[in-house]
Amino acid sequence: MTLTTAEENYLKAIYHLSDGGTKSVSTNDVAAEMKTKPASVSDMLRKLGDKEVIEYRKYYGVNITEEGKKRALTTIRKHRLWEVFLVDKLQFAWDEVHEVAEELEHIQSPLLIQRLDSYLNFPKFDPHGDPIPDEYGDVRARPRLALNEMDIDQSGQIVAVKDSSAAFLKYLDKVGAYIGARIKILDKVEFDGSMEILVDQKKTLFMSKDVAANILAIQS
Amino acid sequence: MTLTTAEENYLKAIYHLSDGGTKSVSTNDVAAEMKTKPASVSDMLRKLGDKEVIEYRKYYGVNITEEGKKRALTTIRKHRLWEVFLVDKLQFAWDEVHEVAEELEHIQSPLLIQRLDSYLNFPKFDPHGDPIPDEYGDVRARPRLALNEMDIDQSGQIVAVKDSSAAFLKYLDKVGAYIGARIKILDKVEFDGSMEILVDQKKTLFMSKDVAANILAIQS
DNA sequence: AAATTAATTTAGATATAGCTAAAAATATAT
DNA sequence: ATATATTTTTAGCTATATCTAAATTAATTT
């Protein structure tokens, strides 16, 4: 059973909204995520239900099935591998890759993805720090915490952002923070939660608690 | 004015059938090329005419416009660059790339193509030996001749095939001929036109005139 | 428990891209 | 010049994916 591009996009949205299939999702939430109307969503849910990638009970929202989860993870895997390709090989900035990857993820060729994975050296994370599911849909997430949750003198590496709006990504770029940067917490101001952070052992950065809360790191 | 994937495919077919825009093309020919019905083609020609990429006079076939030529060449450029990527970087065989490139060519991102071109070192020919149009649609074809048109003792390099059916490509692979192979004509049999050819200064190949006529080379 | 509000579905549109069958236009043969 | 054959177009239908407006169901108040 093949899915159209539109169906794949809906399924991916449902997978994300359901936190990886752990909770059910409402028609309205899907409509908001897909930037479309609830009426269009109802139609699509019926179709996805017929194809047995979701379980659909009218008026009571949807749950993703095991088959649906597998399909969604394949699409996510393809999206993230293409993002790695664009950044590592074609010198795209990490805030420029999303739209193109959104198109590339729908190319149908298991061989292509297998070869791409190998060509990129089997990366485990995309340029935003999100984990890349393996061929079987297994994901190894690493424990991440926001910078404002780290203590003074702790060191680590930036691996992701919570807010991936273009505005925020541009700001990070400007101040010299990036995915992969090694960081150390130099100081935390009790009063407002703002922080002083050492980046790559040379640059010192001041940031508000709001900014710090949107940057995720792994400890080292 | 953007074209849909289907429109891009029709335009590409019309470009090829018209020999690069030098002659007009009939509805029936387009239908045969696109493996669809003439009725469907009529509809599409009206649409492409409205978008001014072809000039369409009912019952008298179509001519591609300058704008249409530019669009078709962009699609061809993308297709061929992706083919180079698949063969050079992802170890695809040259007879496996067509279908995937047929999908990849529709990805919309001028930046992507510019970067891909640079990443591949601005290749001038695809893995089948066909020329890759530059950003402005310029194509530099090199004079090619079929092996059966070459004389004894002439040397050259295989750059393309006329018959690119899977069967023929597989046969070439099997006997050790490939795009890029250096060749030398050792002997030609008057009686049936069959030939003896030295490949890469080591392997000797016997081939019928029919096979030789389907392999194109440049002289050196 | 009835009324109101919110969420969701259905009904009836539109646009794209295809199809078949019938009609119309062009080309060819007698 | 007329008849026949070929080519092409039109008309009307199907499927996907969207929409708006109306109807229905579920949830919340009073």
A–B: how many Cβ contacts below 8 A?
37
How confident is the model over B139-150, as a mean pLDDT?
A: 86
Report domain extents, chain B. 5-64, 145-219
CB contact under 8 A, B112 and A91: no
pLDDT value, residue B187: 94
What does the alpha-carbon distance between residue B102 and residue B97 come to, in Å, rounded to a whole number?
A: 9
Helix, strand, coil % over all residues of chain A, rounded to 5: 40, 20, 40
Q: What is the pLDDT of residue B119?
A: 98
Distance A195 CA to D26 C1' (A): 48
Q: Is the pLDDT score of B142 beyond 80?
A: no
The predicted-structure confidence for B20-58, as pLDDT tens digits, reads as follows 999 999 999 999 999 999 999 999 999 999 999 999 998
Our CA-based measurement puts residue B125 at a distance from the nearest CA of chain A, in whole angstroms, of 20
Could you tell me which residues come within 8 angstroms of residue A137 by beta carbon, excluding any fewer than 6 positions away?
A: A69, A70, A73, A74, A77
Residue B141 pLDDT > 90, yes or no? no
Question: Phi and psi dihedrals of B162, rounded to 5?
Answer: -80, -45
Identify the pLDDT of residue A178.
87
Among the listed residues A120, A12, A160, the one whose alpha carbon sits nearest the alpha carbon of residue A76: A12
Contact A107 B111 (CB under 8 A): no
Below-70 pLDDT ranges, chain A: none
Question: If you ran DSSP here, which 8-state letter would residue B25 be given?
Answer: B
A216 membership: H or E segment, kind and range: strand A215-219
Cα(A18)–Cα(B163) distance, integer angstroms: 51
Contact at CB, A107 and B103, closer than 8 angstroms: yes
Tell me, yes or no, if A107 comes closer than 8 A to chain B by beta carbon.
Answer: yes
> For B197, phi and psi rounded to 5 degrees?
-130, 135
First to last CA, chain A: 45
* CA-based torsion, B172, B178, B179, B181: positive or negative: negative
Q: Specify which residues A134 forms β-bridges with.
A: none
Per-residue pLDDT at A159: 83
Task: Check CB contact of A2 with chain B, cutoff 8 Å.
Answer: no
- pLDDT of B164 reads 80
Determine the distance in angstroms separating the CA of A111 from the nearest CA of chain B, rounded to an integer: 9
Q: Is A67 within 8 Å of A3 (Cβ atoms)?
A: no
Q: How many CA atoms lie within 13 A of B141 on its CB side?
A: 8
- Of A15, A120, A5, A137, which is closest to residue A64 (Cα–Cα)? A15
Answer yes or no: are the C-beta atoms of A145 and A47 closer than 8 Å: no
Output phi, psi for A175, to 5 deg: -85, -5
Q: Chain A residue with minimal CA distance to B103?
A: A107
Distance from CA of A54 to the nearest CA of B (A): 27
pLDDT recorded at residue B86: 97
State the pLDDT at residue B127: 85
Domain B145-219 has CATH 3.30.450.40: no
Is the CB of B6 inside 8 Å of chain A's CB atoms? no
Q: Output the distance from A62 CA to C12 C1' rounded to whole Å.
A: 26
Q: Is B93 on the interface with A (CB under 8 A)?
A: no
Q: Are B148 and B193 in contact (CB under 8 A)?
A: yes
Distance CA B199, CA B157 (A): 9
Joined tokens for residue A177: 């923070």
The fold of the A5-64 domain, in CATH, is Arc Repressor Mutant, subunit A (1.10.10)
Copy the structure tokens of residue A31.
């409509």
Tell me how far CA of residue B76 lies from CA of B83, B134, B159, in angstroms.
Answer: 11, 10, 18
Q: Is B4 helix (H, G, I), strand (E, B) or coil?
A: coil
Listed by number, the residues of chain A in 140-179 with a beta carbon closer than 8 Å to a beta carbon of chain B are none
Test A103 with B103 for CB contact under 8 angstroms.
no
Alpha-carbon distance of A209 to A188, in angstroms, equals 9
A86 touches B at CB < 8 Å = yes
The answer to whether A34 and A9 have CB atoms below 8 angstroms apart is: yes
Contact in structure between B209 and B217 (CB atoms under 8 Å) = no
Report the alpha-carbon distance of residue A31 to residue A26 in Å, rounded: 9
What residues of chain A lie within 8 A of the CB of B103, using their CB? 107-109
Q: Which nucleotides of D are covered by protein (CB under 7 A)?
A: 7-12, 16-22, 25-26
B198 touches strand C (CB under 7 A): no
